[in-house]
Structure 1
């Protein structure tokens, strides 16, 4: 008797979405190859705090079996939010209601990695080229010359995906807003004024087409984003502390302290987004999820949540439709793409609209009005 070979499923990218997909599949006995260009999980910073939503990020963690571990790792009080104007006047001051718990992105990724068998993620594997073969298979050549052939290729490799060109010519476009990111540490002792103005969770100080955004992290740390509208995001690299303080001249001293008292150098990050409703013609043997499919600005709080939901739902559909046969995989991927586009499009539209609101001439007041309009 001839035993059919197991399909080779290759996920490119060991971010939250890819790991959620792999976690669900491996929990049901499906082996997956994960290619990640980073040399290891600590090769670069993973970003700041994430609020996980019940219907998306939290649902994905339940599917992977990590809900209890997640609950044990959330930041108490981290869901609180404040909105201030440039003078430091508080327009919004909301307590943590527990609906969307906050967790550091790095901690969340560690939980997902720890749930996988050793060796699932192949670190230090940069995809150089991908070529379609017959029957929906793909030849993947790594930077070191190694060649793999997939039966199903999943692009979970972020905004600048190497897999997306197989499906779409779209590229993320610059939003016009660039962040400069830093941290303040031991804030209760060394930066009490900054700690007080931020509060226990997330703070937006907005106005004049720019903003200061800060978030509590574990260990008495604040992550701070100085955000500017810039025609050329490269301008941010030339703005050190004095240059940034000049951009926020006239703002309240306790807000400017978030820049002046920075304990780390400022790291520029230009905000990019794919077109709202980004879609593509279905092609066999390959699909996308997360930022590779629908990268958006962070101003809807949906990116990581959607990526994890994409991954968990793709895995569920593959298990439901039959992962061993090409027809079943195609049915699953077709359903995945239709559902993913449908849920990502409104979130992308909201994130683009909120970015424009936040970085308008009176961002704090305008954001407050948007929040009031969304209250039940």
Structure 2
């Protein structure tokens, strides 16, 4: 069985690692030129029942704990005047909750666990075509070609593999504007103190100014807006972004002015809740390719759990991958539906006119739903 995974993100790498532990070889085709080609984003809080479970299946719990930062769970929510609405302090050194880890660190951990040559860099998939005798012919940009018996699409929001299974595509649900403040302790100690070791959210009317501290000492700033507020192109200038926070405490808007370069806006998208597809032999999707959700803390966790469950199904009977895929898909569709519905509710709540009051109620001790996360999945 020649198994191809398209996409070397957290889901694809987790799948390759667990398959390797079960003696099943897979090739990961990744569009980036190398492992350091681009920044990987901010922090992730890994949930015990999903992301951490997948790492346990991958035999990487010890390495994860050596790199994770439980103190990153500290979380403060402020109003536009700078008043504290919620302040969550984790127990020092406690890994029982959702310890934070930089996305880049987690990706490096997974890459380091794979045999040399597993990841084929600079392979951007252009087309996947069914072969008459079964399997798929893969064509990459630049004319590179390969074939496989089983194809797993872990290629994210703009998945090429998805087109083999459904014509459903993501829809815009918001805008995210990102900035980075490097070397914050030395260059901007007042902002380092404001953000602390974890996450800071400043909740306004239909807008959020958020920041999180990364392990390298930088601060990642993210501004969340509804899709009908602001033109992304105009938000490439700090003055335009600052105008959206007129009247806010200058200590908060200093997170924008301190950014190392121009703001980087982009559309946030999600797949329609409840998206499924009719089973097709020898091909399936994991992670954002399957169920792109609002960025409230579930995306990476569910992608890694997808990988673990698909790997377990394939390892249970490697001679019948079609049955394994069917088993995985049935379970994944049932698991994802309530999580996607919950994520959509949280996204709407956080960008509503009454977001501050709603989020304070949400964080009062009765946490029946996963805590939303300021990081982008």
- TM-score above 0.5, yes or no: yes
1:268 counterpart residue number: 265
Question: How far apart are the structure 2 equivalents of 1:236 and 1:225?
Answer: 16
Counterpart of 1:116 (choices 114, 117, 122) is: 114
Q: CA RMSD in A?
A: 1.6
C-alpha distance after superposition, 1:208-252 (max 9, x if no partner): 111101111113221101222243775345441111111101011
Q: How does 1:305-324 map to 2 (within 5 A)?
A: 305-320=301-316, 322-323=317-318
Q: In 2, are the aligned partners of 1:56 and 1:309 still within 8 Å (CA)?
A: yes
Q: How does 1:188-199 map to 2 (within 5 A)?
A: 188-199=185-196
Q: 1:146 and 1:185, CA in 2 relative to 1: closer, same or farther beyond 3 A?
A: closer
Instruction: Please give the secondary structure, in 2, of the residue aligned with 1:305.
Output: helix
Q: In 1, are the aligned partners of 2:128 and 2:161 still within 8 Å (CA)?
A: yes
1:30 counterpart residue number: 24
C-alpha distance after superposition, 1:123-144 (max 9, x if no partner): 0011111111245411111223
Question: How far apart are the structure 2 equivalents of 1:354 and 1:179?
Answer: 16
* Residue 89 of structure 1, CA deviation: 1.1
Unpaired runs of 5+ in structure 1? 1-6
Q: In 2, are the aligned partners of 1:140 and 1:149 still within 8 Å (CA)?
A: yes
Whether 2:255 is the aligned partner of 1:258: answer yes
Question: How far apart are the structure 1 equivalents of 2:69 and 2:262?
Answer: 25
Question: How far apart are the structure 2 equivalents of 1:77 and 1:373?
Answer: 20
Question: How far apart are the structure 2 equivalents of 1:254 and 1:93?
Answer: 18
Counterpart of 2:160 (choices 162, 168, 178) is: 162
Instruction: Please give the secondary structure, in 2, of the residue aligned with 1:306.
Output: helix
Question: How far apart are the structure 2 equivalents of 1:312 and 1:34?
Answer: 16
1:347 counterpart residue number: 339
Q: In 1, are the aligned partners of 2:70 and 2:98 still within 8 Å (CA)?
A: no
Question: How far apart are the structure 1 equivalents of 2:145 and 2:251?
Answer: 55
Instruction: Please give the secondary structure, in 2, of the residue aligned with 1:78.
Output: helix
Whether 2:363 is the aligned partner of 1:371: answer yes
Q: In 2, are the aligned partners of 1:157 and 1:292 still within 8 Å (CA)?
A: yes
Whether 2:293 is the aligned partner of 1:296: answer yes
Q: In 2, are the aligned partners of 1:36 and 1:122 still within 8 Å (CA)?
A: yes
Question: How far apart are the structure 1 equivalents of 2:209 and 2:55?
Answer: 31
* Residue 340 of structure 1, CA deviation: 1.3
Unpaired runs of 5+ in structure 2? 369-377
Whether 2:37 is the aligned partner of 1:39: answer no
Q: 1:236 and 1:207, CA in 2 relative to 1: closer, same or farther beyond 3 A?
A: farther
C-alpha distance after superposition, 1:315-367 (max 9, x if no partner): 111011x21x2xx2111101111111122222211211111111111322211
Instruction: Please give the secondary structure, in 1, of the residue aligned with 2:80.
Output: coil
2:149 counterpart residue number: 151
Counterpart of 1:329 (choices 315, 321, 336) is: 321
Instruction: Please give the secondary structure, in 2, of the residue aligned with 1:330.
Output: helix
Q: 1:237 and 1:334, CA in 2 relative to 1: closer, same or farther beyond 3 A?
A: farther
Instruction: Please give the secondary structure, in 2, of the residue aligned with 1:276.
Output: coil
Q: 1:375 and 1:232, CA in 2 relative to 1: closer, same or farther beyond 3 A?
A: closer
Instruction: Please give the secondary structure, in 2, of the residue aligned with 1:235.
Output: coil
Q: How does 1:6-85 map to 2 (within 5 A)?
A: 7-85=1-79
Q: More displaced, 149-158 or 233-242? A: 233-242
Question: How far apart are the structure 2 equivalents of 1:362 and 1:193?
Answer: 29
Whether 2:241 is the aligned partner of 1:247: answer no
Question: How far apart are the structure 2 equivalents of 1:237 and 1:43?
Answer: 27
Q: In 2, are the aligned partners of 1:155 and 1:289 still within 8 Å (CA)?
A: yes
Q: In 2, are the aligned partners of 1:136 and 1:286 still within 8 Å (CA)?
A: no
Q: 1:45 and 1:234, CA in 2 relative to 1: closer, same or farther beyond 3 A?
A: farther
Q: In 2, are the aligned partners of 1:178 and 1:236 still within 8 Å (CA)?
A: no
TM-score where L is the length of structure 1: 0.93
Question: How far apart are the structure 2 equivalents of 1:282 and 1:118?
Answer: 33
